[in-house]
Amino acid sequence: MSLASELNPTARLLMGPGPSDVHYRVLKAMATPVIGHLDPQFILIMDELKEMLRYLFRTKNELTFAVSATGSAGMETCFVNLLEPGDDALICVNGVFGNRMSDIVERCGAKLIRVDAPWGSPIDPEQVKHALEKCNPKLVAIVHAETSTGVLQPLEEIGKMAHDVGALFLVDTVTSLGGTDVRMDDWGIDAIYSAPQKCISAPPGMAPVSFSPQAVKVMEQRKTKVQSWYLDLSMVRKYWEGAKRVYHHTAPISMVYALHEALRLILEEGLEVRFERHRRNHELLRDGLEKLGFEFIVDTKYRLPMLNAVKIPDGVDDAVVRRRLLEEFNIEIGAGLGDFAGKVWRIGLMGCSSTENHVFLLLAALKKIIGDK
């Protein structure tokens, strides 16, 4: 076997559905010397990370930390710890990630009840209300920012409905956290998960989660073992909480450093300032794309500022344009998924990728490529 070549990937402008560009300070943090996962210095870093996540989720929940795995593991952590075989779970589905929730529910041995909406549209609270009249779910789950469609879902009304029937309210904030307001306590969210490679602008590999006292109570009253050993919070939480930490797994030290520094950058900027930056750059991109003849999939009221789903104009070759953007301009945008495959582009303005410079470069590149056809 010949020696593998030295890593030297071309730098890109990451304007797809994730990952986003990573700040140099986060990359520098990853080069910090590795220490033991039970070292007192590392325990302090973990505690600071938890406190910053509480600030970002806007919660006081004690059980707030980051799972040592990608965002999908954060999703699975929430479901496998809260559901047992035979439980009912109502899942709101209007894109790829609601479907993934549904798959996990069935793998938990729970009974799946779906409330579906067309791709590109939010879930209608009236549909949820009607579904709740016919079942008694242990939890109701929904995606706040559907990455496959660009829909921003209002949460408060559906969360209240869930609580009115005694159900837990579980929310996916993978794409929204750090780019638009997420209010876990104010909106009555009992379990929440996210990922760092979107608006937080850290590399993928950790999954922020938080659980309300009621959710913790449900976990502590389980009658069966959690189906996943690695994600079983009855063990994992002992590593993240308390004066005496109990070994569960060797934490990804450098990834914790990266998330810690990315969260520090968010605190330095300030949440409201950060949210306004995402909104302002979204509007700049919207105006430019509409001048080029693009149409957005989602109605203005429910449109994500950090993930812009636009119809591919007639006569424009999806794969050719995306390849030219990558090869000639070093710009990555996302293809459509599922029902939108070949019909939609997903353009991300997330975290460090949400700048005027990103917007202007993409618009200029698209104008050049489309003008060449």
- Which one-letter amino acid corresponds to residue 312? I
Instruction: Return the closest-CA partner of residue 317 out of 364, 366, 362, 282.
Output: 366
**In this structure, is residue 4 part of a structural domain?**
no
User: Does residue 241 share a domain with residue 357?
Assistant: no
Residue with tokens 């549909």: 127
Q: Per the domain annotation, does 311 fall within a domain?
A: yes
* Residue ranges making up the domain that contains 137: 24-267
**DSSP character at residue 180:** B
Nearest to 293 by CA among 356, 367, 372: 367
Q: How far apart are CA 115 and CA 91, in angstroms?
A: 6
Looking at the structure, do residues 111 and 256 belong to the same domain, yes or no? yes
d(CA 308, CA 282): 8
Q: Is residue 5 part of a domain?
A: no
- For the record, the structure tokens of 181 come out as 């307001």
Record the tokens describing residue 247, joined without a space.
Answer: 């070994």
Q: How far apart are CA 63 and CA 54, in angstroms?
A: 9
- pLDDT value, residue 365: 98
Q: How many CB atoms lie within 10 A of CB 178?
A: 29
Cα–Cα distance measured from residue 302 to residue 81, given in angstroms and rounded to the nearest whole number: 31
Q: Are residues 190 and 216 in the same domain?
A: yes
Of 267, 295, 316, the last residue of a domain is 267
The mean per-residue pLDDT over the stretch 164-173 comes to 98
Do 221 and 275 belong to one domain? no
Average pLDDT over residues 124-146: 97
Task: Give me the pLDDT at residue 371, please.
Answer: 79
Is residue 184 within 8 Å of residue 168, measured between CB atoms?
Answer: no
Q: pLDDT digits over 35-51, tens only?
A: 999 999 999 999 999 99
Whether residues 53 and 130 share a domain: the answer is yes
Q: What's the rounded mean pLDDT across residues 53-66?
A: 98
Give me the CATH number covering residue 189: 3.40.640.10
Residue with more model confidence, 1 or 263: 263
CB 98 within 8 A of CB 142: yes
The answer on 292 and 238 residing in a single domain is: no
pLDDT, residue 94, reads 97
Residue 166 belongs to a domain:
yes
Q: Whole-angstrom Cα distance, residue 72 to residue 252?
A: 16
- Would you state the torsion angle of the CA atoms of residues 160, 163, 165, 170, taken in this order, to the nearest 10 degrees? 100
pLDDT value at residue 155 = 98
**317-333 mean pLDDT:** 97
Q: Is the pLDDT of residue 8 over 70?
A: yes
pLDDT value for 373: 58
What is residue 219's DSSP assignment?
Answer: H
Q: At a CB cut-off of 8 Å and minimum separation 6, what does 244 contact?
A: none
pLDDT of residue 243: 86
Q: Is residue 1 part of a domain?
A: no
Sequence-ordered list of residues with C-beta below 8 angstroms from that of 242, at least 6 positions apart, any chain: none
Residue 299 lies in a domain: yes
Task: Classify residue 349: in a domain, yes or no.
Answer: yes
CATH number for the domain that contains residue 338: 3.90.1150.10
Average pLDDT over residues 168-188: 98
| Count of residues making up the chain | 373
319 with 254, same domain: the answer is no
- CA 260, CA 238: separation in Å to the nearest integer? 20
Strand order in the sheet with 344-348: 307-311, 344-348, 334-335
The reported pTM is 0.97
* 3-class DSSP state of 136: coil
Spatial separation of the C-alpha atoms in residues 191 and 75, rounded to whole Å: 10
Domain co-membership, 61 together with 41 = yes
Q: Are residues 302 and 246 in the same domain?
A: no
161 and 218 in a single domain? The answer is yes
Q: Tokens at residue 16, please?
A: 């797809």
For residues 229 and 338, state if they share a domain: no
Residues 52 and 128 in one domain: yes
Average pLDDT value for residue range 225-248:
96
Residue 2 has pLDDT above 90, yes or no: no
Q: Is residue 8 part of a domain?
A: no
Q: Pick from 209, 239, 267: which residue ends a domain? A: 267
Across residues 105-133, what is the average pLDDT?
98
The structural domain count of the chain equals: 2
Distance of alpha carbon 191 from alpha carbon 172, whole angstroms: 9
Q: Tokens for 104, please give them.
A: 């996990």
- 3-class DSSP assignment, residue 13: strand
Q: What is the pLDDT of residues 204-231, one digit of tens each?
A: 999 999 999 999 999 999 999 999 999 9
**Final residue before a domain boundary, out of 228, 249, 267:** 267
More confident residue, 371 or 286: 286
